[in-house]
Structure 1
């Protein structure tokens, strides 16, 4: 909440109220649903020698994050220029998204379940008819296209959950490559999946601190915190001033809410 309004600044005054509201909301939700982390507790080993691999992951996540931003708004602008009835635009977007889903059903929905399967290395459980290796490589880009077509055509949807999905599969892609090339440094793809989520969305949304903390909260472990800090920082630098949230302003000084200060 404190970061999302600005690209290079923070709304400091909302931190304490946000902490209180989050704690109350978390307590109520957890008492009903349970307090287990969304993506399971990460208990695997962490090798500090693997930190350069996470820097590479951060760079890759930043580049894919740039593609996510530009494709999202490029598709939105293309539909805006399309000279057809406004009622037909969502139908066309849905038709094209459905065509992608025929190839890879994983692009539909929020995708948290697919992230869990990826984290635990259960790629054989994914419903797509594509071979697992091709699916792993293509899914980030298919999800980018499906999200852009859905929201850009006027359909209902957000960018947070797709951002996590895209980042998870970018992390899975590189995690698999690292595992094959450096098995001692990357014995599992799970940490790369988790850090990939944070790195991509942290760079694309210009919210590095929030998503770094999110890694700890979602996994119930501090072991991946150093890796997340490095990957998110690199991704943040790579994405530059680009953001998936166009309404963000650079700093508090540029905000109309602080114009009189």
Structure 2
């Protein structure tokens, strides 16, 4: 797969061909849809290859078995040895990559939010390999992070190779993720809305055809290769009584708090791992050993938990067993991520949701008889919404998995309440929570990168009127007798910033001629740095209530002047440009 795109990057691909293809894509949306289909096919190949590789690696833990989480028992020696050695190998690879400053993987959400869809195919391939190694040795994580990472990276590479517009590159990144998730779950609608809700950040009619086609194309590939996810047979009710929606709503709220607890547990585990007097490369091995010990209690904690989730939907465990498995799986997932394994919580959250629903049904049984299968599906989707985000994604996943409209309606209620509860009490999904811990304020894939790239240095006016800070009002009036300029910057003998005054103040009659100009500087005056972003500049104007601010470097030397009016105008222009892109309107050349 990488060879195809590496070939496009070489001189063997005629520049005229790329230029002609680029012109076609920019003038006719049908060519963009064709590129979306190619991206989906590549994403389907990614899912098939990674799934086949991990199933092969699982033979080290359980020879002759299929998916690990469906095992009834496991050899104790293999359970302890394979995850530990896998963690040791992963730690060694991580140590080598840490020496390479070029390895800075950017996930699809961050790429679309901050970098205009720019992703490194090389880094994404390494992340996918790390994910395969983690899942293959039994770490309690899913492959979906690697699926979407590499699928989206192919879309990004195609878009950048053709020098497409920023909005089109972001769309192809979404196509890659849609294809990966749709193929992984055998659910193209869920994959499409995963892209809309999490990767692109919004739904637009113009993006529907490319996203949908990419998801369907990827699904066709996994069906053709035989790597499709085994189907789930769930007993669904003909109808759900209206009174049952009350506990279903309660289950959505409960699942939200379980999801929050899981995300907090991951953070606490990472903090605990940092305090251990062990080198970083050895910590995944310790995590693998701990996961192996938990697998001795129940092999369902191994890998993504997909087969265990299916078994839980078909034959729901009783209350106490479900509660025990819930705690074991949550602990194993937290240890896996906290110790340095690569992977996602999408698959794991589905299994945890099934167990949460089983526990809820068992507790509710003395009060109200609600089918356990209903609680399991509702809990599965509600917990996934809490951890991953994207309520529409999970609503369509429920519909495609069960084919039941009444059950999908129940899932819709719980998913919405779960999403609202997490937003009000926690404020983040798992992905955005990780961004928050790194200091990034990203809530979705909505494009906010232009706000960071539009810095004060790019907006300020460099030719500014100045006065010595030792001057008097009379001298200033003689120097600037008219109504212009509006703002004057005061500098000391070393040309450093002292303050900013307005011309209207200077010509006010209540100031005597002998008054020093420094007396006109308002209290609370501050300056902007040239690398300050547009959003931070707006915050400064709002905080100081000043119509203009000076721009200085770290030594206090004056570089320019920026007015709030100009910043607001540029902000409005960029918002309008973004709105046009989201609406699918033609780009202006």
- TM-score range with shorter-chain normalisation? 0.7 to 0.9
What is the correspondence of 1:191-210 to structure 2 with a 5 Å cutoff? 191-210=374-393
Deviation (angstroms), 1:97: 1.5
What residue number does 1:10 align with?
A: 202
Q: 1:47 to 1:119 in 2, by over 3 A?
A: same
- Matched-pair contact (CA < 8 Å) for 1:72–1:144: no
What residue number does 1:89 align with?
A: 283
What residue number does 1:78 align with?
A: 272
What residue number does 2:360 align with?
A: 174
Paired residue secondary structure (1:73): helix
- Matched-pair contact (CA < 8 Å) for 1:90–1:153: yes
- Matched-pair contact (CA < 8 Å) for 2:345–2:387: no
What is the correspondence of 1:108-187 to structure 2 with a 5 Å cutoff? 108-121=302-315, 123=317, 132-183=318-369, 186=370
State the distance in 1 between where 2:448 and 2:324 align.
Answer: 39
State the distance in 2 between where 1:253 and 1:155 align.
Answer: 28
CA-to-partner distance for each residue in 1:75-111, whole Å, 9 max, x for gaps? 1233234331122201111122222222222111222
Deviation (angstroms), 1:33: 4.0
Q: 1:115 to 1:20 in 2, by over 3 A?
A: same
RMSD between aligned residues: 2.6
Paired residue secondary structure (2:284): helix
What residue number does 2:233 align with?
A: 40
CA-to-partner distance for each residue in 1:116-156, whole Å, 9 max, x for gaps? 22222264xxxxxxxx5422112222211101111211123
Deviation (angstroms), 1:179: 3.9
What residue number does 2:394 align with?
A: 211
- Matched-pair contact (CA < 8 Å) for 1:62–1:199: yes
- Matched-pair contact (CA < 8 Å) for 2:356–2:376: yes
State the distance in 2 between where 1:149 and 1:41 align.
Answer: 31
CA-to-partner distance for each residue in 1:196-227, whole Å, 9 max, x for gaps? 11101112222111111111112232221211
Paired residue secondary structure (2:430): coil
State the distance in 2 between where 1:34 and 1:222 align.
Answer: 28
What residue number does 1:63 align with?
A: 257
State the distance in 2 between where 1:159 and 1:53 align.
Answer: 26
State the distance in 1 between where 2:445 and 2:348 align.
Answer: 28
Deviation (angstroms), 1:74: 1.9
State the distance in 2 between where 1:36 and 1:244 align.
Answer: 24
Q: 2:404 aligns with which of 215, 221, 225?
A: 221
TM-score (norm: length of structure 1): 0.84
- Matched-pair contact (CA < 8 Å) for 2:301–2:328: yes
State the distance in 2 between where 1:69 and 1:46 align.
Answer: 34
Paired residue secondary structure (1:135): helix
Q: Which has the higher contact order (CA 8 A, sep 6+)?
A: 1
What residue number does 2:501 align with?
A: none
Query: Can you give the 5+ residue segments of structure 1 that lack an aligned partner in the other structure?
Result: 124-131
Paired residue secondary structure (1:157): coil
Corresponding position: 1:242 with 2:242: no
- Matched-pair contact (CA < 8 Å) for 2:248–2:410: yes
State the distance in 2 between where 1:144 and 1:96 align.
Answer: 13
User: How many pairs does the alignment contain?
Assistant: 248
Q: 1:23 aligns with which of 206, 209, 216?
A: 216
More strand by share: 2
Paired residue secondary structure (2:375): helix
Deviation (angstroms), 1:157: 2.7
Q: 1:25 to 1:138 in 2, by over 3 A?
A: same
TM-score (norm: length of structure 2): 0.39
- Matched-pair contact (CA < 8 Å) for 1:205–1:244: yes
State the distance in 1 between where 2:263 and 2:396 align.
Answer: 23
State the distance in 2 between where 1:93 and 1:233 align.
Answer: 35
